[in-house]
Amino acid sequence: MNENKVVIQKKVIRNISLTAHPAGCARYVRDLIEQARSLANGSSPDKRYLTVTGLSLPKRVLVIGGSTGYGLASRVVAAFCGGADTIGVSFERLPTESKTATPGWYATHVFDQEARKTGSGSVSLYGDAFAMETKEKVAQAIKETCEGGQVDMVVYSIASPVRTDPQTGVTYQSVLKTVGEPYESLSLDIPLEKIISVTVPVATGEQVAETVKVMGGEDWMLWMEYLKEQGVLASGVKTIAYSYIGPEKTYPIYRHGSIGMAKRNLEETVPRIDGLLASLDGKAYVSVNKALVTRASFVIPVVPLYMALLYQIMQEKNLHEGCLEQAYRLFTEKLYGVDAVATDEMGRIRLDDWEMRRDVQEDVDAAWLLQKDGEKIAGGNVISCVQEYDRLHGFGYEDIDYNLPIDPREIL
């Protein structure tokens, strides 16, 4: 046996997966690509979506945070539905002889392979998006890779617990806490599928300010300023960042919590970026997306219980979507569709429209009332949430032999 080969098993502690499987991650990305292609050409059995025929999708796209979750889905749609050249930036742990990389590292390598097979330009940079050095490398890559040395679209899809301010060198940490008073709620012990009670603690004023520093709009603005200064933004450029609102029951932990303060700040950055891009006839947007299982969302207190109930209800109503379908709808119906971009009264694109439908939320409320502390979850689709989490780490595919030793550095 090759001594560099090890058996890679799923290992999850406190809703964080410590491992990722190279073959499974490759499979995950190829499935996303296949799904995107079939939606685009109308061969998908899912008939809720329009094909891309006649649409002018962007041809040169930068995705900051493009290795997993919403960012990866956006990059897949850009490249495999719109035929765009793409540049991706992500922060991933590299593999060693004995330790796996984080899933985005495998996903990104496979994405590059597949995109290049189609003739699209595909360049991926691994580094800290908050650092000046990364912004410089990306501007250079745009100049070298994209036609005319410019991009038509910039997706900002970062979810990070920490940011070092490049100007001051000070490091800030984001927290997932409430603002004002602690919040007691039911939550879900995912492995046991059991309802538990949790008390989410209050963030200090300083912690709220730090969370805004990390997950607010400051870095998005810095990116756009730098890219404009470098002349790598095309005329008519669009930039988009992702936000979340959710139902009132999760407000204390999300919308009114420390992360919600950061999202509010992100949304308030839009008019400032619009001002910056005015001379290019460019436009910034925030899209409020659906609650979905990703590496970032699975660690938010209370939200996994909400997602388990929501998944079941949306699946029953044939309204459920994953990141890929959300990104597809964003590109084909919201941002580059035949109609003008529709926004709410705050100027936000609402991709959470199906999640927030009254009948969906009434059913979630009714399901929530059935939950009892200490008992197994009543209803909900925990299996679907766990399967999604497992698959984005390359686990849970029946036809992959997880007992077979594999080199963690292998790209499959």
- What does the DSSP assignment read for 294-348? -TTGGGSSSHHHHHHHHHHHHHHTT----HHHHHHHIIIIIISSSSPPP--TTS-
Contacts of 338 (CB under 8 A, 6+ apart): 54, 55
Determine whether the annotation assigns residue 332 to a binding site.
Answer: no
Least CB distance from residue 11 to ligand NAD, whole Å?
Answer: 18
Least CB distance from residue 129 to ligand NAD, whole Å?
Answer: 3
Determine whether the annotation assigns residue 65 to a binding site.
Answer: yes
Determine whether the annotation assigns residue 293 to a binding site.
Answer: yes
Give the dihedral sign, CA 271/273/279/280: negative
- What does the DSSP assignment read for 54-115? T----SEEEEET-SSHHHHHHHHHHHHTT--EEEEEE--PPP-SSSPPPHHHHHHHHHHHHH
Bridge partners of residue 233, in order along the sequence: 151
Count other Cβ atoms within 10 Å, centred on residue 131.
Answer: 16
Least CB distance from residue 52 to ligand NAD, whole Å?
Answer: 23
Q: Distance between CA atoms of 47 and 408, rounded to whole angstroms?
A: 38
Which is the catalytic residue, given 254, 285, 328, 336? Answer: 254
Burial of 402 (0-12, 13-18, 19+ CB in 10 A): middle
* Catalytic residue status for 254: yes
The DSSP H or E segment spanning 223 is helix 218-229
Determine whether the annotation assigns residue 246 to a binding site.
Answer: no
Residue numbers of the site for ligand NAD (CB under 6 A)?
65-71, 89-92, 104, 128-130, 157-160, 242-244, 289, 291-292, 294-297
Q: Which is nearer to ligand NAD, 65 or 82 (CB)?
A: 65
Least CB distance from residue 29 to ligand NAD, whole Å?
Answer: 13
Determine whether the annotation assigns residue 344 to a binding site.
Answer: no
Contacts of 301 (CB under 8 A, 6+ apart): 176, 185, 187, 198, 200, 253
Residue 246: both structure tokens together: 């959710």
Name the residue whose CB lies closest to ligand NAD: 69
Q: Distance between CA atoms of 370 and 406, rounded to whole angstroms?
A: 45
Determine whether the annotation assigns residue 92 to a binding site.
Answer: yes
Q: Which is nearer to ligand NAD, 49 or 126 (CB)?
A: 126
Least CB distance from residue 374 to ligand NAD, whole Å?
Answer: 27
Q: Distance between CA atoms of 339 and 344, rounded to whole angstroms?
A: 15
Least CB distance from residue 259 to ligand NAD, whole Å?
Answer: 7
Determine whether the annotation assigns residue 214 to a binding site.
Answer: no
Determine whether the annotation assigns residue 263 to a binding site.
Answer: yes
Count other Cβ atoms within 10 Å, centred on residue 203.
Answer: 22
Q: Distance between CA atoms of 256 and 346, rounded to whole angstroms?
A: 17
Binding-site residues, in ranges, read: 65-70, 91-92, 128-129, 158-159, 244, 263, 292-294
Residues tagged active-site:
254
Binding-site residues for NAD(+), in ranges, read: 65-70, 91-92, 128-129, 158-159, 263, 292-294
